[in-house]
Each structure stands twice: as structure tokens, then as C-alpha cells.
């Protein structure tokens, strides 16, 4: 609710209807109630089967564009590691991250 109202204020205007936390609370509450009443399988069958892949691809394209357009990749690649992460923790993360997607 707070993040949505901040994004609404940034996208439209500070005093607009889209920056109201009350609006977002009611909107998200209505969406959650609709999902609970219709059942999660109905949501998956009607919405995610048709639009889920396209929403995911659009989000990936948007994130990639933001990374390439706004991040300083040369500075990121030029930064050397500072060895602040122990080997065992890094190894655990390297194994756990791919396995979490299974």
C-alpha cells in the first residue's frame, strides 16, 4: 500500500488520487477478497494461463532495460571483490540459488 502510493505519487502527482494510501488499501483488499471468493484455481485458470507468461516476459524486459539504461556497468565490472563473504557462505549461496528454482 505504501509502496504503491509512493509509485502513484511519482508517476502522476503528489496530490493525485493514485497517491492515496486509502485507495490502494481498498483496491488491494478488493482484489484479495475477489481471489478468496473465486478461489485460487479460478484465478490461475482464467488469468495466469492466458497472461502469466506475457507479464513475466514484460517484467524481465523492463528490468533488463532499466539495468542497461541506468546502471554503470563499467564501474560494476571494475570493482574488485573485498573478500568480506566467507568461502562457505558463498558456496552455500552458489548452490542454494539454482536449487531454489527447482
Contact 30, 20 (CB under 8 A): no
Note the residue count of the chain: 102
What integer pLDDT is reported at residue 23 of this predicted model? Answer: 93
**Contact status, residue 26 vs residue 17, Cβ threshold 8 Å:** no
**Tens-place pLDDT, residues 14-38:** 888 888 899 999 999 999 999 899 8
Tens digit of each residue's pLDDT (9 = 90 or more) over 30-83: 999 998 998 888 888 888 889 999 999 999 999 999 989 998 888 888 888 888
- Residue 95 has a pLDDT of 92
Instruction: Tell which phi-psi region holds residue 39, choosing left (phi > 0), alpha (psi between -120 and 50) or beta.
Output: left
Whether the predicted pLDDT of 102 surpasses 80: no
Q: Is the pTM of this model over 0.75?
A: no
Positive/negative CA dihedral, 27, 25, 53, 37: negative
Handedness of CA 67, 70, 76, 82 (dihedral sign): negative
pLDDT value of position 28: 95
Amino acid at each position: 500500500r505504501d509502496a504503491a502510493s509512493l509509485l502513484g505519487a511519482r508517476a502522476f502527482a503528489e496530490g493525485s488520487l493514485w497517491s492515496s494510501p486509502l485507495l490502494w488499501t481498498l483496491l488491494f483488499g478488493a482484489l484479495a477478497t475477489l481471489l478468496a471468493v473465486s478461489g485460487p484455481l479460478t484465478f490461475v485458470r482464467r488469468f495466469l494461463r492466458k497472461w502469466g507468461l506475457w507479464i513475466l516476459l514484460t517484467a524481465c524486459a523492463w528490468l533488463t532495460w532499466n539495468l542497461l539504461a541506468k546502471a554503470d556497468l563499467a564501474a560494476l565490472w571494475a570493482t574488485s571483490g573485498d573478500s568480506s563473504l566467507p568461502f562457505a557462505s558463498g558456496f552455500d549461496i552458489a548452490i542454494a540459488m539454482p536449487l531454489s528454482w527447482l
